[in-house]
């Protein structure tokens, strides 16, 4: 089979390898159909690591994916695949916070090979059957949709609230749609790229702003909310200017959810602003067990993931796909493995 391994910064190579044999916990063979390129994949591509995780050997990236089951009770089924395998036994898992499990095995992270290959073995418990109305590409995008669902869950969003989305990449645009489906009535979106803001308007944002290093977008949001600010700010850019804008634009007593992953592994904000406003600050870590909710949102047309896909590449052209994603072309780039 073909497998795409990251050897160093911006160095992806095609390998020919034997298909994995299902065994132990990894009890189901999958034929990969569609893989999305995530912002965290780009951290690996650009930096040969993410946060404190560094490249130790040539690694197969990829954690947003759909597949066809090749073995076991689900053989022949199209599935979306949860990339996280928590231990199920630790304090966090038993308390229902499996996304915080310190023993999690995660596809395409650390030393665990991911989905940019033709076949992989993965636990049956992590597979979610796709209805006919949900395509393979849609199935791959259920993972970032799950991240968006978790971010909105952390905000404890109530019907009629106003929400600011700071960064309109795929996670930001999905968070926008989830917030709208959850009852948010006023949606404010910032980004540095106009095509992303255009997409945000198509997905229901009433107010969009071009972001800049001077953070004038936060002042514009305050003006458009009669100096009140938004109830909830969700930062999805991984950029400290966006973090500061989110803190500036949220109302006193509001909530800021930090989703973006900074390249230098540091996030900073003006303490006096957060303190005087008495803000609730939440750090978002991946997602919990939300795949059934994600599938339902897509199946019922409440969230449009298909419209995010702007380019498709073949598996052998994964290097070019990552380079296009690195240039921030379009909205979402998908690699089709079958």
Judge whether 181 lies within some domain. Answer: yes
Q: Which domain holds residue 150?
A: 145-283
Q: Are residues 136 and 154 in the same domain?
A: no
Residue 206 pLDDT exceeds 90: yes
Contacts of 176 (CB under 8 A, 6+ apart): 163, 165, 168, 187, 189, 200, 203, 204, 205
Q: Are residues 107 and 233 in the same domain?
A: no
The strands making up 207-210's β-sheet, listed across from edge to edge, are 207-210, 186-191, 162-166, 230-235, 250-258, 280-283
Cα separation, 82 vs 141, in Å, equals: 11
Q: Where are the beta strands (DSSP E) in the chain?
A: 2-8, 11-16, 28-36, 49-50, 53-54, 64-69, 78-81, 84-85, 105-106, 119-122, 127-129, 162-166, 186-191, 207-210, 230-235, 250-258, 280-283, 309-314, 332-336
* CATH code where residue 197 lies: 3.40.50.720
Q: Are residues 111 and 170 in the same domain?
A: no
Asked whether the beta carbons of 178 and 327 are under 8 A apart, the reply is no
Residue 214 pLDDT exceeds 90: no
* CATH code where residue 102 lies: 3.90.180.10
pLDDT of residue 189: 98
Residue 196 pLDDT exceeds 90: yes
Write the pLDDT tens digit of every residue in 150-177: 999 999 999 999 999 999 999 999 999 9
Judge whether 300 lies within some domain. Answer: no
Judge whether 254 lies within some domain. Answer: yes
Q: Are residues 25 and 111 in the same domain?
A: yes
Number of domains in the chain: 2
Mean pLDDT of 258-264: 94
Judge whether 130 lies within some domain. Answer: yes
Write the pLDDT tens digit of every residue in 11-22: 999 999 999 999
Judge whether 262 lies within some domain. Answer: yes
Q: Are residues 136 and 177 in the same domain?
A: no
Q: Are residues 200 and 244 in the same domain?
A: yes
Q: Are residues 151 and 245 in the same domain?
A: yes
Residue 215 pLDDT exceeds 90: no
DSSP 167-202: --SHHHHHHHHHHHHTT--EEEEEES-HHHHHHHHH
The model carries a pTM of: 0.96
pLDDT confidence bin for 213, thresholds 50/70/90: confident
């Amino acid at each position: 089979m073909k497998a795409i391994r990251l050897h160093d910064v911006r160095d992806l190579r095609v390998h020919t390898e034997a298909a994995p044999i299902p065994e132990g916990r990894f009890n189901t063979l999958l034929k990969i159909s569609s893989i999305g390129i995530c912002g965290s994949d780009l951290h690996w591509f650009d930096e040969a690591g993410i946060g404190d995780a560094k490249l130790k050997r040539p690694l197969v990236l990829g954690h947003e994916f759909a597949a066809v089951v090749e073995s076991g009770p689900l053989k022949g089924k199209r599935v979306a695949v949860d990339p996280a395998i928590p231990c199920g036994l630790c304090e966090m898992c038993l308390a229902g916070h499996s996304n915080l499990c310190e023993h999690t095995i995660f596809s395409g992270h650390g030393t665990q090979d991911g989905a940019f290959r033709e076949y992989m073995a993965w636990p049956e418990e992590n597979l979610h059957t796709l209805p006919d109305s949900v395509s393979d590409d849609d199935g791959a995008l259920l993972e970032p949709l799950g991240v968006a669902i978790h971010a909105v869950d952390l905000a404890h969003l109530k019907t009629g609230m106003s929400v600011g989305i700071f960064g309109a990449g795929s996670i930001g645009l999905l968070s926008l749609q989830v917030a709208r489906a959850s009852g948010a009535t006023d949606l404010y979106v910032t980004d540095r790229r106009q095509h992303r803001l255009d997409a945000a308007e198509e997905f229901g944002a009433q107010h969009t702003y071009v972001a800049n290093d001077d953070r004038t977008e936060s002042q514009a949001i305050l003006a458009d909310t009669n100096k009140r600010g938004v109830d909830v700010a969700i930062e999805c850019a991984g950029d400290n200017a966006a973090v500061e804008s989110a803190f500036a634009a949220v109302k006193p007593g509001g909530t800021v959810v930090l989703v973006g992953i900074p390249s230098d592994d540091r996030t900073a904000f003006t303490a006096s602003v957060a303190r005087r406003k008495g803000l609730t600050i939440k750090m978002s870590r991946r997602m919990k067990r939300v795949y059934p909710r994600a599938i339902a949102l897509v199946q019922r047309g409440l969230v449009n993931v298909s419209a995010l896909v702007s380019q498709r590449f073949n598996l052998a052209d994964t290097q070019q796909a990552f380079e296009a994603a690195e240039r921030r072309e379009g909205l979402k780039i998908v690699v089709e493995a079958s």
